[in-house]
A and B are shown apart, each in its own frame.
Chain A
Amino acid sequence: MIKVHFFAALREQLKCNDIKLNVASPITVEQAKQLLVEMHPNWQQFLLNNSLLTAVNHELVEEDYIVNLHDELAFFPPVTGG
Chain B
Amino acid sequence: MQNPIPLSELSNNKPDAPNSRKNKAIAASKTDRIIIQIEDFVLSDEVEMLEKNNNEDGAVVTFCGRVRNNNLGQKVKGLTLEHYPGMTEKSLQKIITNARKKWQLGRITIIHRVGKLLIGEQIVFVGVSSKHRGDAFAANEFIMDFLKVKAPFWKKELTETGETWLSTKVSDTHKAQEW
Residues of chain A having any CB pair with chain B under 8 Å: 5, 7-9, 12, 55, 58-60, 74, 76-82
Contact = CB atoms under 8 A, between A and B. Distances in A.
Given A5-B84, A81-B152, A82-B124, 9 more contacts: A7-B154, A58-B90, A77-B165, A78-B168, A79-B151, A79-B152, A80-B167, A81-B83, A82-B112
What is the interface of chain B mostly: helix, strand, loop, or mixed? mixed
A58 to B, nearest CB: 4
A82 B84 contact: no
A59 B86 CA distance: 10
Contacts of A58: 84, 86-87, 90-91
Given A58-B90, A81-B83, A82-B123, A7 B152 contact: yes
Given A8-B165, A58-B91, A82 B147 contact: yes
B45 interface: no
Contacts of A76: 84, 152, 154
Interface of B: 65, 81-84, 86-87, 90-91, 112, 123-124, 144, 147-156, 165-168
Contacts of B147: 81-82
A22 B177 CA distance: 39
Contact of A80 (B86, B112, B144, B168): B168
Contacts of B82: 7-8
A81 B155 CA distance: 6
A74 B91 CA distance: 14
Nearest to A78: B168
B72 to A, nearest CB: 13
A12 to B, nearest CB: 8
Contacts of A80: 153-155, 165-168
Nearest to B113: A81
A81 B156 contact: no
B86 A81 contact: no
Given A8-B165, A9-B165, A79 B86 contact: no
